[in-house]
Amino acid sequence: AQSVTQLGSHVSVSEGALVLLRCNYSSSVPPYLFWYVQYPNQGLQLLLKYTSAATLVKGINGFEAEFKKSETSFHLTKPSAHMSDAAEYFCAVSEEAGGGADGLTFGKGTHLIIQP
Amino acid sequence: KAGVTQTPRYLIKTRGQQVTLSCSPISGHRSVSWYQQTPGQGLQFLFEYFSETQRNKGNFPGRFSGRQFSNSRSEMNVSTLELGDSALYLCASRQSSGNTIYFGEGSWLTVV
């Protein structure tokens, strides 16, 4: 069965500082990995996805993530935080394209706080 | 291109009642899936429909059901509502051969 662990339910950074949100996964097969962002009272917006093409994935809003098989990690980074980045971030994994039998399995989420 | 559209956005129901939520996928997307989001359990997969057939189902009781119509629009139904069913219900869609799942804004259900 697949699973996702997001280290840190809350992460606080200063505006302009590096953002690092951690995600570790467990999967019995090469996984599909995703990062979604959720703003207050809204649905999930896809930031980026890994589908075995390239290990460094660039997404929207300046975010990127690197797939490291040896570490079973898919950490999300952004060089310089902006106030508008404050939101909840979810890492998700699936063992089949589009979700499969168990759908997407999500981590518990990380609330990103941006200090002015 | 319009995104995934869910209605209603907010609703309040009483314990024991039933509720139906609606979802219109992105044009051309034939797969629709549903997720429940609660503060305690997080995001959990409910079920997925493709071409009017349920393909996969998460670990939820039979009170949770759904269906998909020939135009790919989907509804989910929860019968005999319990307080614990209060949640954000998210609908998502993807293309037949696609690996990217796009989510709607969700329907906020409060059971009192």
Over residues A19-42, the pLDDT tens digits come to 999 999 998 788 899 999 999 989
A→B contacts (Cβ < 8 Å), by residue, are 32, 34, 36, 42-46, 49, 51, 90, 92, 97-109
Among residues of chain A, what percentage have pLDDT more than 90?
A: 76
Over residues B28-38, the pLDDT tens digits come to 999 999 999 99
Nearest by CB: B90 against A34, A43, A109: A43
Q: Does the pLDDT at position B97 exceed 80?
A: no
Amino acid A81: pLDDT: 97
- Please give the Cα distance from B2 to B20 (Å, whole number): 22
Amino acid B17: pLDDT: 98
pLDDT higher at B93 or B2: B93
- Please give the Cα distance from A19 to A37 (Å, whole number): 14
Tokens describing residue A19: 């953002």
Q: Which of A44, A91, A93 to mutate to test the interface with B (most CBs of B within 10 A)?
A: A44
Taking residues A62-70, report their average pLDDT. Answer: 94
In one-letter notation, the amino acid at residue B17 is Q
Over residues A76-106, the pLDDT tens digits come to 999 999 999 999 999 999 887 777 777 899 9
Ramachandran class of A95: left when φ > 0, alpha when ψ lies in -120 to 50, beta otherwise: alpha
| Beta pairing partners, B27 | none
CA angle at residue B43 from B42 to B47, to 5 degrees? 145
Amino acid A97: pLDDT: 72
Q: Does the pLDDT at position B1 exceed 70?
A: no
